[in-house]
Amino acid sequence: MNINTAFPSKYLKVADLDDKKIRLTIATVEMEKVDTKKPEQPVLYFRGQKKGLVLNVTNKNTLCKIYGEETDAWAGQPIVLAPKETEYQGDVVPCIRLEKPAAAQTEKKPLPPAADVPDDEIPF
């Protein structure tokens, strides 16, 4: 038995990524009471996923850099969840970091050789 299954959570943990980067589409951001000792925190939800990601300052800053500060504009946008490590209270611990997705790979047609294009015409 994987011991992490004994402690289910409605929020994503780094163990949920199974040591792989995952590309998801943002659905919404909701303010929720995650910890009874803290004020509400923003939680990022994804299309087709039940668990949300509680946003920390680092991941919030990444999203703002990529998509701007208006959370409504994040809906429908792709994002990559990546398993990483960070220093926390003197220890190195696993964490989830957000990354900008790579540009879509598109097949490009090669340009014709220069000899096939007359000098006075633009080839498009």
Domain assignment present for 46: yes
Domain assignment present for 124: no
Question: Which among 27, 26, 65, 60 is positioned nearest to 41, based on CA atoms?
Answer: 60
Q: For the sheet containing 53-54, what is the strand order?
A: 53-54, 41-46, 22-32, 78-88, 91-99
Domain assignment present for 70: yes
Which structural domain, as residue segments, surrounds residue 46?
A: 7-101
Domain assignment present for 20: yes
Domain assignment present for 113: no
pLDDT digits (tens, 9 = 90+) for 16-68: 999 999 999 999 999 999 999 999 999 999 999 999 999 999 999 999 999 99
121 pLDDT above the threshold of 70 = no
Domain assignment present for 62: yes
Q: pLDDT above 70 covers what percent of the chain?
A: 81
d(CA 110, CA 108): 6
